[in-house]
Chains A and B, each alone.
Chain A
Amino acid sequence: MHLILEAIMENAIQQKGKRLAITGKKDPVALAAILAARDRGWIEPVACGGPLSELRKELEVYFVDSDIWQARQEALSLLRNKEAEALLDMGPLDNRFFSLLKEAGAQIKNTHLLSYVSVFMLPKNGLMTLLTDTLINSAPGLMEKVQIVENAIKVANALGIDRLKIAALGPLELVNPAIPSTLDAAILSKMSERGQFGDVIVEGPLGMDNAESALAAQHKGIESPVPGNVDVYLFPDLESANITAQFFTWAGRCQLGGVLAGTKFPIIIRSPLESPDSWLLNLALGLIMNGEI
């Protein structure tokens, strides 16, 4: 079943007042989304840090003497102690923030990779579609791609996508030893064939044209249930993923949402690929991830 974005938003209400720690710099658009989520009964927000102290009229504020960096650490200890269930950070999204997440053990396992999954409705068929990794890992090798796939599977499962189909994209559908990304895609495809990802089919390498059309794939002799039914597009590198996502936003006028994946508890952010209007969507997406993402 494919949940549509509105349904994701409706689902978020079942979270029944999840305790959400808020950190980062003050962002009025994000705050409006937080208040809307509170009014819908999704969350009980707690602002953390001195920069957010002026929100006292609206919200409970903790750690008023802390700057952004200290407040983030303190908010993460709230999460570790189960005094909060999710984190929303209003930025800045930089290496310091992600290093802090790792130091605080916010990832599922110590060595586990964080990755980013963009979520949107494909204009041509209205189906929910995931793109990964559009933000974080710049030149993932096979080891990293295995974890990026595992992270995407968790996100897709939380979104209710059954019998997940993943297209491991490449610049062509043939395995070309001169182009390492085609080797990675082929190995991931073989791993899925051997059941290493569970009830999930990874097919690759696929060019975008034969990922998108079953007919085009058949013309190239590719027999697979994935072409024409892709839930997740796995990109060969950050350049191709991030740049393609930009074109969905600015040439295709799609509203993208995004989920930080590989974390122990929901961590809600907004990447530059998403419009400020996406804060509420990202919040809903984060909240419906059950348990480990």
Chain B
Amino acid sequence: MYQDFDEIAVRARELGPKRAVILFPNDADVMQAAAEGMKEGLITPVLVGEEASIKAIASETDLPSGAMEIIHQEDPQEAANLCLDMVIRGEAGFVVKGNILTTYLYRALINATKILAPDQIPCTLCFHQVQGINKIFVVTDPGINIRPDLTAKKKILANAVQMLRSLGCDNPRVMALAAKLLDGSASVFARDAQELSRLGDKGKFGPCTMEAATTLFDIFDTNNFQADLFPDIFLVPNIETGNILVKTIDHLIGGIRQCVTVGAGLIILTPSRSDGYEVRMGNLALGLVLAESCKRD
């Protein structure tokens, strides 16, 4: 397993450049990132969207649009479907979201996953690198599923375990998080977490080590933190927890966060406008490494 994003960047440079399909790059920031990824030797961009506006932006930003392949499709849903079809057919490694609502890509991914991997549902995985913890850990799902029920959580976990394994973490340590109620009763979240732990032990999510505990204070004495025991995958109970948690780790605790959305091994990157150069290149590198390890036969 990669210990940090630098190792992933090194691996990505060995693998690249790979074709990446960029949906609606008619935005200066998105176009800039595509060109930078190309110069860094990470990607060969394929631009999908309205051709005239893509060309206009490319010329405004003084970028070599001639060097990039453009596929004209102005309907956002058709364009999103087309991008995923290209990845499914092996014509591109992954999709990068541009100037478009994420919903279109999510819808395309949900449909594709239903057909290709019915035992999974798409979810967002946030990969975190935090000082003092000597590995990358993942929080899921802060993005797609608002309040997943037990069935949905099983599919999210199957998906997350597979992704971690494809990054070389052969036996990820998994914790399904749930707060403990003071009256000793189990909330629906705690009951789900316990059931997931039981199923994980039976190998239902692939090879992984399920924590029986649902909180960090159950596994760590506050004075005796062991980084080795820190889980690789945290499954959160709902979108509130996931979303607030990943942004807390990113903005208040510090470190690096990279998010990818994945279903059936299809990778979508959803970079944010405020990402700096390093983060954008790190995001492409992670996409590249994940796409390579999820390669379809």
Chain A: residues with CB nearer than 8 A to chain B? Answer: 93-95, 98, 122-124, 135-136, 138, 169-172, 178-179, 181, 207-209, 212-213, 216, 219, 235-244, 246-253, 272-277
Measured in the bound complex, the distance between the Cα atoms of B181 and A94 in whole Å is 9
Whether A208 pairs with B179 at a CB distance below 8 angstroms is no
User: Does B182 have its Cβ within 8 Å of any Cβ on chain A?
Assistant: yes
Measured in the bound complex, the distance between the Cα atoms of B237 and A241 in whole Å is 12
Residues of A within 8 A of B250 (CB): 209
Residues of B within 8 A of A236 (CB): 240, 244
When C-beta atoms are compared, the residue in chain A nearest to B142 turns out to be: A171
Whether A247 touches B274, Cβ cut-off 8 Å, given contacts A171-B244, A235-B244, A236-B240, is no
New contact pairs (8) apart from A171-B242, A240-B241, CB-CB < 8 Å = A213-B251, A235-B240, A236-B244, A237-B240, A242-B179, A248-B253, A250-B217, A277-B223
Cβ distance B106 to chain A, nearest Cβ, rounded Å: 14
Whether B244 pairs with A208 at a CB distance below 8 angstroms is yes
Q: Please report which residues of chain B, range 203-247, place their CB below 8 angstroms from some CB of chain A when the two chains form the complex.
A: 215-217, 220, 222-223, 225, 230, 236-245, 247
Whether A246 pairs with B238 at a CB distance below 8 angstroms is no
Whether A181 touches B240, Cβ cut-off 8 Å, given contacts A239-B189, A243-B177, A243-B179, is yes
> Can you list 30 A-B contacts with CB-CB less than 8 angstroms, sorted by A residue number?
A94-B183, A95-B182, A95-B184, A123-B252, A124-B252, A138-B181, A169-B240, A179-B146, A179-B239, A181-B240, A207-B243, A208-B244, A212-B247, A212-B252, A239-B177, A239-B178, A239-B179, A241-B179, A243-B177, A243-B215, A244-B241, A247-B245, A247-B248, A250-B225, A251-B130, A251-B132, A253-B225, A273-B217, A275-B222, A275-B223
Task: Encode contact with A along B130-155: 1 for CB under 8 Å, 0 otherwise.
Answer: 10110000000010001000000000
Cβ-defined partner of A239 (8 Å) among B217, B241, B251? B241
Whether A207 touches B247, Cβ cut-off 8 Å, given contacts A123-B254, A240-B241, is yes
Cβ distance B213 to chain A, nearest Cβ, rounded Å: 11
Whether A272 pairs with B217 at a CB distance below 8 angstroms is yes
Residues of B within 8 A of A243 (CB): 177, 179, 215, 236-237, 241, 245
Measured in the bound complex, the distance between the Cα atoms of B203 and A190 in whole Å is 49
Residues of B within 8 A of A276 (CB): 222-223
Cβ distance B13 to chain A, nearest Cβ, rounded Å: 29
Whether A171 pairs with B239 at a CB distance below 8 angstroms is yes
Cβ distance A241 to chain B, nearest Cβ, rounded Å: 8
Cβ-defined partner of B132 (8 Å) among A241, A242, A253? A253
Whether A208 touches B248, Cβ cut-off 8 Å, given contacts A94-B183, A248-B253, is yes
When C-beta atoms are compared, the residue in chain B nearest to A278 turns out to be: B222
Residues of B within 8 A of A207 (CB): 243-244, 247
Chain B: residues with CB nearer than 8 A to chain A? Answer: 130, 132-133, 142, 146, 177-184, 187, 189, 215-217, 220, 222-223, 225, 230, 236-245, 247-254, 273-274
Measured in the bound complex, the distance between the Cα atoms of B238 and A181 in whole Å is 12
Cβ distance A146 to chain B, nearest Cβ, rounded Å: 19
Cβ distance B251 to chain A, nearest Cβ, rounded Å: 4
When C-beta atoms are compared, the residue in chain B nearest to A213 turns out to be: B251
Whether B179 pairs with A138 at a CB distance below 8 angstroms is yes
Cβ distance A135 to chain B, nearest Cβ, rounded Å: 7
Cβ-defined partner of B182 (8 Å) among A93, A170, A248? A93
Whether B146 pairs with A239 at a CB distance below 8 angstroms is no
User: Which among A123, A212, A246 has the greatest number of chain B C-beta atoms within 10 A?
Assistant: A246
Cβ distance B218 to chain A, nearest Cβ, rounded Å: 8
Measured in the bound complex, the distance between the Cα atoms of B181 and A244 in whole Å is 16
Measured in the bound complex, the distance between the Cα atoms of B238 and A246 in whole Å is 16
Whether B238 pairs with A239 at a CB distance below 8 angstroms is yes
Whether B252 pairs with A239 at a CB distance below 8 angstroms is no
Whether A135 pairs with B240 at a CB distance below 8 angstroms is no
Residues of B within 8 A of A216 (CB): 274
Residues of A within 8 A of B244 (CB): 169, 171, 207-208, 235-236, 240, 244
Whether A98 touches B182, Cβ cut-off 8 Å, given contacts A171-B239, A239-B237, A272-B217, is yes
Measured in the bound complex, the distance between the Cα atoms of B217 and A207 in whole Å is 26
Cβ distance A202 to chain B, nearest Cβ, rounded Å: 17
Residues of A within 8 A of B142 (CB): 171
Whether A208 pairs with B146 at a CB distance below 8 angstroms is no
Measured in the bound complex, the distance between the Cα atoms of B260 and A290 in whole Å is 49
Whether A208 pairs with B247 at a CB distance below 8 angstroms is yes
Residues of A within 8 A of B189 (CB): 239
Whether A136 pairs with B238 at a CB distance below 8 angstroms is no
Whether A249 pairs with B187 at a CB distance below 8 angstroms is no
Whether A172 pairs with B243 at a CB distance below 8 angstroms is yes
Cβ distance A166 to chain B, nearest Cβ, rounded Å: 15
Whether A240 pairs with B240 at a CB distance below 8 angstroms is yes
Query: 7 tightest CB-CB pairs across the interface, nearest first?
Result: A95-B183, A275-B222, A208-B247, A242-B179, A171-B243, A252-B253, A240-B241
